[in-house]
Structure 1
Amino acid sequence: MVVVVVVVVVVVIIVVVVVVVVVVVLVVIVLVVEVVVVEIVVQRQHQRHQRHQW
C-alpha cells in the first residue's frame, strides 16, 4: 500500500508540474503575440500618419 501511495503522489506531482509548465508557456506565447500585434498596429498607424503628413 505504501508503494501505491508513493506512486500516486509522484504521478500527481508530475501532472501538476506539467500543467503549470503548459500554462506558463501558453501565457508567454499569448503575451508575445499581443506585443507583436501591438507593435504591428502602432507601426501601421505611424505609417498612416506619416502618409497623411506627407
Structure 2
Amino acid sequence: MIKTVVLAQAAVVVVVVVVVVVVVVVVVVVVVEVVVVVGVVVVVVAAAVVAKVAMAVVAAAGVAKVAMAVVAAAVVLIVAVVVVKVSVEVV
C-alpha cells in the first residue's frame, strides 16, 4: 500500500514537472528568440535538478508542498529567462 502511495505521488510530481518544463520552454521561445538554444539547455538542466529535488522531497513533505516548490522553481526560471533576455539586449 505504501509503495502505491509513493508511486502515485511520484507520478503527480512527474506530471507537474513536465507541465512546468513545457510552460518554461514556451516562455523561453517567446521571450528569448536569439538565445533559444542556450535558454532551452538551461531550462532542461534546471528541470532535471527540480525533478531530482522534487523526488527527494516528496517522501518527506507530501505532494502539495512539492507541487508548490515546483511552481516556485518555474517562476524563478521564468524570471531568470527574462533577466537573461534583458541583459543580452543591454549588451
Which bin holds the TM-score, normalised by the shorter protein?
0.5 to 0.7
User: What TM-score comes out, normalization by structure 2 length?
Assistant: 0.35
Alignment equivalent of 1:38, drawn from 18, 29, 39: 29
* Deviations, residues 1-54 of structure 1 (Å, cap 9, x unaligned): xxxxxxxxx101100000000011001101100000101024xxxxxxxxxxxx
TM-score of the superposed pair, with normalisation by structure 1:
0.57
Q: Tell me: higher relative CO, structure 1 or 2? Use CA pairs within 8 A at least 6 residues apart.
A: 2
Query: Does residue 23 of the first structure (1) align with residue 14 of the second (2)?
Result: yes
Q: Which one has the largest radius of gyration?
A: 1
Q: Show structure 1 runs of 4+ deviating over 4 A.
A: none
Q: Tell me, which stretches of 5 or more residues in structure 2 are unaligned?
A: 34-91
What is the alpha-carbon root mean square deviation over aligned residues?
A: 0.9
- The one-letter code matched in structure 2 to 1:16 is L
Gaps of 5+ in 1: 1-9, 43-54
2:5 is the alignment partner of 1:11: no
Paired positions, count: 33
